[in-house]
Amino acid sequence: MYFVIFTFGLAELIRQVVTWYEANHSGSVGRYLFLDIEQKHIVWQLTALAALVYLAGWLVKRSRVGLALRMIGDDEMVARHCGVHTTFAKLLVFGISAMFMVLAGAIVAPRWTYIDPTIAFNPVVSFQVLIMALLGGAARLHGPVLGVIPLVLLFEFLSANFPNYFSILLGCTFLVIVYLAPRGIVGLMDRLQGGKA
């Protein structure tokens, strides 16, 4: 949880630094992107990227790094005593996930035709992604996908009908998920299957 808070703070720091640099040295904030690319090409590129993300996640899970991460998740102190280099493992996975986020941003950027630091480092988007992962279940590779569809529909409904209260309703959604389904949909399914057995 502390790492999640740290990444939110880091994104805000980078946004402020980029805004300051562009305002003071570039003379303009933001960039126009005019590329001859169709929507269907963006969809196919994002689909290929999603496949790469799942392949990378599957490979990491089956590797020694995946074992190290599971140990860190259970008890970081015990993992250190067992000889796991916890800092290296966390930084490696952070770098891999950051690489995929950069690729996703590069693919989607031409669709907007204009980007600036406020769009690129939007904390609301980051928070929405976190809520989707929590609803689906962050402990499983396929868990976050289960949270995407219902929450995208919910966010579209809330932003269209309650634009002034969207941030408050987003926070309430986060609290409801954390308290009612701390392990997400995957955790609820496991609990139901365990109850039937």
Residue 1: what pLDDT?
64
Examine the pLDDT at 5 and tell me if it is beyond 70. yes
* Percent of the chain at pLDDT exceeding 70: 98
Residue 19 lies in a domain: no
Number of folded domains that form the chain: 2
In a domain, 5, yes or no: no
Residues 79 and 154 occupy one common structural domain = no
Q: What's the domain range around 51?
A: 33-121
Secondary structure of residue 171 in the 3-state scheme: helix
Which residue type, as a one-letter code, is found at position 11?
A
Window from 2-11, 39-48, 168-177 with minimum mean pLDDT:
2-11
- Reply yes or no on whether the pLDDT at 193 is more than 80: no
Q: What is the distance between the alpha carbons of residues 120 and 97, in angstroms, rounded to a whole number?
A: 16
Q: Report yes or no on 15 lying in a domain.
A: no
Q: Are residues 58 and 127 in the same domain?
A: no
> Which region among 94-103, 176-185, 186-195 has the lowest average model confidence (pLDDT)?
186-195
| Contact by Cβ (8 Å): 30, 121 | no
Looking at the structure, tell me whether residues 99 and 83 fall in a common domain. Answer: yes
Q: How confident is the model at residue 56 (pLDDT cuts 50, 70, 90)?
A: very high
Task: Please indicate whether residue 103 or residue 114 has the higher confidence score (pLDDT).
Answer: 103
Consecutive H or E run containing 15: helix 2-21
